[in-house]
Structure 1
Amino acid sequence: MATPKNYRGRGDLVLLCALLGTLGEIGRGQIHYSVPEESDKGYFVGNISKDLGLESQELAQHGVHIVSRGRRQLFALNPGSGSLVTAGRIDREELCAQSARCLVNINILVEDKGKLWGIEIEITDINDNNPKFQVDNLEVKINEIALPGTRYPLPGAVDPDVGLNSLQSYQLSPNHHFSLDVQTRDDGTISPELVLESALDREEQAAHRLVLVASDGGEPRRSSTLHIRVTVLDTNDNAPVFAQPIYRVKVPENVPPGTRLLTVSASDPDEGTNGEVAYKFWKISEKQSPLFQLNENTGEISTAKSLDYEECAFYDMEIQAE
């Protein structure tokens, strides 16, 4: 719903080129470091003096300083020890979302040698987030004439960590009527579905209570739960069907709050109240939720707050028609 990020303004490029033009020699070797996210301020990243081949640990004597651009500096130089350290806590998820690798590139200028060195720093993930459902409780309405084998999609959990630290599995509490099937999508994410295993009888039991557990693969393992109430209904033969499975829209970042982005539409051939359709957010991240509003009656999605091009270039959400 937005164009990719690009932090480089035209004026910045001109200034950087002018700086490069004054250097006698540009360092060709790329230096690589890694640092775990959430490290304390001052965490040791690498020995800059040694890796740049400087005889003295006193960086100030060589005119060594960081010339990289950015909204805030993530790293700093310790002149006395000759080391590169963190300038504050680094949130990998805020910086790189769920990218497989999170790389930060900075430039180090050594004035007395006339060299500019490129430094690549990988921010490694730690298991600092639980998989999280958008809601704690969910009601699923199922008609008593539903046939065994009927599937009902469940809202997935969101885990901003990556790799094994991200969401890995779902588990359903034991019961006599339902099982859980987990589908793997093309993008590798997993989606839970509730499967009816045996016929329901509303007169025998009007409601069933289930618990869905989402777990990651980190150490220690983190998890969260979704409490599901299955309400057994009388006859309602059809489920709403959206006019299209995927909706896409592009929007500039400067649109004011309240701007209509698009309208999703689903139809239900049932008559009366059984054919009335209501819309609600089904899967949307905690950070994105305050930015958008959904009209439950019309399916119209609009902005609730201003969108920031630099903070996020793409928003992905799921809508349920009920």
Structure 2
Amino acid sequence: MFSWQKHRDGRGRILLCFLLGLLWGTLTAQIRYSIPEELEKGSFVGNIAKDLGLELQELSQRGARIVSRGKKQHFALSVRSGSLVTADRIDREELCSQGAQCLLNFNVLIEDNLNIYSVEVEITDINDNAPRFRAEKLELKISETTAPGTQLILESAYDPDVGVNSLQGYELSPNHHFSLRVQSGADGIKYPELVLDRALDREKEPTLQIVLSGWDGGEPIRSGTAGILVTVLDGNDNAPVFTQPIYTVNVPENVPQGTTLLTVNATDADEGINSQVRYFLVKIPGKTSQIFQLNSVTGELLTLQNLDYEAAKFYMMEAEAQDGLGLWGRAKIHVTVVDMND
């Protein structure tokens, strides 16, 4: 007996599926609703009993039930109220990404007469997402010799909402060097570009901090930000500068050969190879070049020969400091020879 009953139930289910297959393309009516996403479970969608032309008690008496076309059931029939309600919280972005429309379709089956009603529910977008940048902190490295007008493409923000709730524009925090330009691509995505308006100077500002904001057009407006650290790379825009314009020294004529008379010193505000300074003697008249030598690394002025007050009482030279890429600065050297009782 039990075996026969089980067999009969199985045949009944097979028959029902067969009949549904025949009737699937012959729908007696189509009903359409529209609800915003993220409603609480059990939220009202529509008066399904009224829209089906049924009295409230007929929903259960006539075997009304939802036949879902997908794996997940998003809606339920409330027999008590005759309403179609949400079976769970619906996230439009999860279901339809950024599609222009998000439609959920299912059927309501009236079992006693095998009527099938097609139901379509449009899920409308709400502004539940703010624009977000892939990284909250961006870093740019720009040479201080970069010409004003140069454009630097920045990463776009992403907002999974659609329409007016999606990303609408960008804004740059106030600063003295950069402005913002926004380009729209063929795909409709807005791309921010950083434009250099005013030349950079690493020696004055080695780094700059600015903030890029992306905002949507929802109600209320939502926004996301990314901090931008601009590191200014050195350009060889500074020449070496001596610590004093004229170096003077009084030297007894009997100082030994190889004596250090003085040390010149120059500094370069650049960094790296651009700040490395070497020293040279220039504009040396007559035999002076055979008497003095300037150490190219230390800046020390040495005697190559013995001095002789009677031969020359005063020497005037010019020292030059050069950096790694050829910028230079100059200073004068005055050497006075002091007579000794020789």
- Structure 1: gaps (5+ residues): 1-13, 237-322
Higher relative contact order (CA closer than 8 Å, sequence separation 6+): 1
CA contact (8 A) 1:58 1:80 kept: no
Paired AA for residue 46 in structure 2: G
Question: 1:230 matched to which residue of 2?
Answer: 230
Q: Describe the shift of the 1:134–1:15 C-alpha distance in structure 2 as closer, same or farther (beyond 3 A).
A: farther
1:72 aligns with 2:66: no
Question: 1:136 matched to which residue of 2?
Answer: 136
Q: Describe the shift of the 1:166–1:57 C-alpha distance in structure 2 as closer, same or farther (beyond 3 A).
A: farther
CA contact (8 A) 2:181 2:193 kept: yes
Q: Distance in 1 between matches of 2:15 and 2:67?
A: 11
Where do 1:106-255 residues align within 5 Å?
106-234=106-234
Percent of residue pairs identical: 61
Q: Distance in 1 between matches of 2:56 and 2:136?
A: 58
Q: Describe the shift of the 1:160–1:61 C-alpha distance in structure 2 as closer, same or farther (beyond 3 A).
A: same
Of structures 1 and 2, the larger Rg is shown by 2
Q: Distance in 2 between matches of 1:36 and 1:15?
A: 38
CA contact (8 A) 2:69 2:105 kept: no
Q: Describe the shift of the 1:102–1:169 C-alpha distance in structure 2 as closer, same or farther (beyond 3 A).
A: same
Q: Describe the shift of the 1:140–1:45 C-alpha distance in structure 2 as closer, same or farther (beyond 3 A).
A: same
Cα shift readout 1:76-116 (whole Å, capped 9, x = no counterpart): 11112211100011111111111111110011111123211
Cα shift readout 1:161-187 (whole Å, capped 9, x = no counterpart): 111111111000111111100010112
Question: 1:3 matched to which residue of 2?
Answer: none
Helix, strand or coil: the match of 1:30? strand
1:26 aligns with 2:19: no
Question: 2:246 matched to which residue of 1?
Answer: none
* Matched residues, number: 223
CA contact (8 A) 1:25 1:114 kept: no
Q: Distance in 2 between matches of 1:211 and 1:106?
A: 47
Cα shift readout 1:131-174 (whole Å, capped 9, x = no counterpart): 11111111111111211111111111111111111111100011
Q: Describe the shift of the 1:151–1:17 C-alpha distance in structure 2 as closer, same or farther (beyond 3 A).
A: farther
Q: Could you state the TM-score of these two structures normalised by the residue count of structure 1?
A: 0.65
Helix, strand or coil: the match of 1:112? coil
102-111 or 64-73, which moves further after superposition?
64-73
- Higher share in strand: 2
- Structure 2: gaps (5+ residues): 1-13, 237-342
Q: Distance in 1 between matches of 2:146 and 2:19?
A: 71
